[in-house]
Amino acid sequence: MELHTKDYGILEYEEQDLFYFSDGLFGFPQIKHFLPLCLNEQEDSMMLLLQGVEDTGIAFVVLDPFSIEPDYEPRLTREELSFLGVESEAELSFYVTCALKDDYLDNIVNLKCPLVMNPENRRCMQVIMADSPYDYRKSLRDFKLVKGA
C-alpha cells in the first residue's frame, strides 16, 4: 500500500506495519492508524515519526521514554491493560510525544500521557497517568541524560 505525504514523499507499507489506535490520540480521535517511520538507519527505534494514515497532514515525533529517563515507571490501570490485551506493563512498548523547537534542548516531551502499544497485535492507546509523578511538559534540557555538554 502507498501513502502520499507532503513532507515525507510516498511511503510504502503493509497493513501490519500500522499502529492501531481505536480511539485515536487525545484531540485527534479521527486518526486511528499511524505508520511508524524509523528515521535512523541503525534501526535504533529511540525516535519514530508516527505518520497519520487517515490524514497525512498529521504526524507526531515520538521518543522512547526510557532512552531519556531510564527510571521511567509507567503504570496503567487494570482497564487499560485489559483493553490492550496484556497482564502487565512489561509486555508493552511506550512512546512519548515530542514537540520540536528551534533548539532541540527546548523540545517538550509528555511523560504523563504515553502512547502505549502491545507489540503482539499493534493495538495502541494513549493514556493519562493521572496519579503518576510525571509532567505533561518537560523540556529535554531537564533530563540528566540529555543535559550537559
| Contacts to other proteins by CB under 8 A | 6-8, 25-28, 39-40, 44, 46-47, 49, 57-61, 63, 67-68, 97-101, 104, 107-108, 110, 112-113, 126, 128, 130, 136-137, 140, 145-146, 148
Sequence-distant (6+) residues with CB within 8 A of 56 are 3, 4, 5, 6
Q: Minimum distance from CB of 51 to other proteins (Å)? A: 9
Q: How many alpha carbons fall within 13 Å on the CB side of residue 23?
A: 13
Output the smallest distance, CB 14 to other proteins, in A: 22
Nearer to other proteins, 107 or 118 (CB): 107
Quote the least distance from Cβ 68 to other proteins, whole Å: 7
Cα separations (Å) of 87 from 67, 115, 118, 121? 24, 17, 11, 14
| The amino acid at 86 | V
Closest CB 80 distance from other proteins, rounded Å: 14
The grid cell for 81 is 491493560
